[in-house]
Amino acid sequence: MDLPVMPPVRPMLATSVAEIPPGMQYEAKWDGFRAIVFRDGDEVEIGSRTTRPLTRYFPELVEAFRRELPARCVVDGEIVIARDGRLRFEDLLERIHPASSRVRTLAERTPASFVAFDLLALDGTALADLPLSERRAALETALAGAGAPVHVAPASTDIDVARTWFAQYEGAGLDGVVAKPLDAPYAPNERTLFKIKHLRTADCVLAGYREHKSGPIVGSLLLGLHDDDGRLQHVGVCASFPMDRRRELVEELAPLRLDDLAGHPWEAWADESAQASSRLPGAVSRWTGTKNLSWVPLRPERVIEVAYDHMEGTRFRHTAQFRRWRPDREPSDCGYGQLEEPQSYDLAEILR
């Protein structure tokens, strides 16, 4: 491979802001795997956000890139999987599998797509130093003839359009809007972009905590919500506490601490069959590997209000943020019914 921009390259990053800023280029915030694609003839390499190779996990995209992308190019974008008109991040997670046969099966069953939103090189020319407005024009020209599963991300400089996208696109599984300065060059691994995400709150049952990697202090709080059958399902974690607060929480939660899991709603967490059928903490995945996911069980008697951006199925997609304790709420009243459901929106309408 001999390109004017060679791997590895870290993608540009974004800083979270509360409002959509004016005077920029706006795009949807795709919920997938960030990827930079390098193509030099038949040679294709897909690099992740951390520069780790993703090529072997998406054989159907490697074939598509050889067919749909310019012969020599470097393209920044997002790998996504859509099902029933909605992005499915959980299907992407299944792709990170050591068995090639399993990857091939999933590639046929749930094929991935690639949404391109930046062009770093074309033929023998590096474009990273050009302003975004010029790179975007070059991207649209270079991929004008591309077909599915390769798409060019919709973009607009109209802030009212961005506000409409922010309201509508969540129903297709997207999680906000990205604003990009029009005159900015491509800045690898720098937070020169802006992301605006949905933010909601939920009252959850506190059912345990994991210790911090530095020692016996609170690392993250384990959150639960009751389903329609009254079972407490693990929905995610709340973290990002100052170190002093982590130490205080150990003492604060000590009266709720259980010596064992007997009678706890998640007492079956170590059972593999239970892990497959329920949302329980502690499951080791291909992402967590050998990471210690043991946890300290608590009597599920306290309610905590957290902020979250959006759901992935029945779980919070990202780490929730602590807002306050809710002594006025009963744990039994904390269920999925309180969560806001975004209006459905067909992903095909975005990519068309």
Per-residue confidence (pLDDT) for residue 134, from 0 to 100: 98
Residue 8: alpha-carbon gap to chain centroid: 21
Per-residue confidence (pLDDT) for residue 170, from 0 to 100: 78
User: What pTM was estimated for this model as a whole?
Assistant: 0.74
For 185, the 3-state DSSP assignment is coil
Per-residue confidence (pLDDT) for residue 172, from 0 to 100: 80
CA dihedral 116, 120, 122, 127 (to 10 degrees): 140
Alpha carbons 7 and 13: distance in angstroms, whole number: 17
279-314 pLDDT, tens digit per residue, is 566 544 444 444 556 899 999 999 999 988 877 778
Please give the single-letter amino acid code of residue 16.
S
The H or E element spanning position 246 is helix 243-253
Instruction: Give me the residues of the chain with pLDDT under 50, please.
Output: 272-278, 283-290
Per-residue confidence (pLDDT) for residue 124, from 0 to 100: 93
The set of residues, in sequence order, having a beta carbon less than 8 Å from that of 141 and lying 6+ positions away, is none
Angle, in degrees to the nearest 10, between helices 100-109 and 59-68:
60
Whole-Å CA distances, 48 to 11, 37, 38: 9, 9, 11
Whole-Å CA distances, 97 to 79, 81, 245: 16, 16, 38
Phi/psi at 87 (5° precision): -65, 140
Q: Which residues are catalytic?
A: 29
Alpha carbons 163 and 26: distance in angstroms, whole number: 9
Per-residue confidence (pLDDT) for residue 199, from 0 to 100: 78
CA 261, 90, 139, 52 torsion: positive or negative? positive
The set of residues, in sequence order, having a beta carbon less than 8 Å from that of 210 and lying 6+ positions away, is 218, 219, 220, 222, 237, 281, 293, 294, 295, 296
The set of residues, in sequence order, having a beta carbon less than 8 Å from that of 255 and lying 6+ positions away, is none
Instruction: Compute the chain's Rg from CA coordinates.
Output: 22
Per-residue confidence (pLDDT) for residue 312, from 0 to 100: 78
Per-residue confidence (pLDDT) for residue 289, from 0 to 100: 47
Q: Go through the domains of the chain in sequence order and give each one's CATH number.
A: 13-198 (3.30.470.30), 200-338 (2.40.50.140)
Whole-Å CA distances, 73 to 4, 10, 39, 128, 234: 9, 16, 5, 12, 43
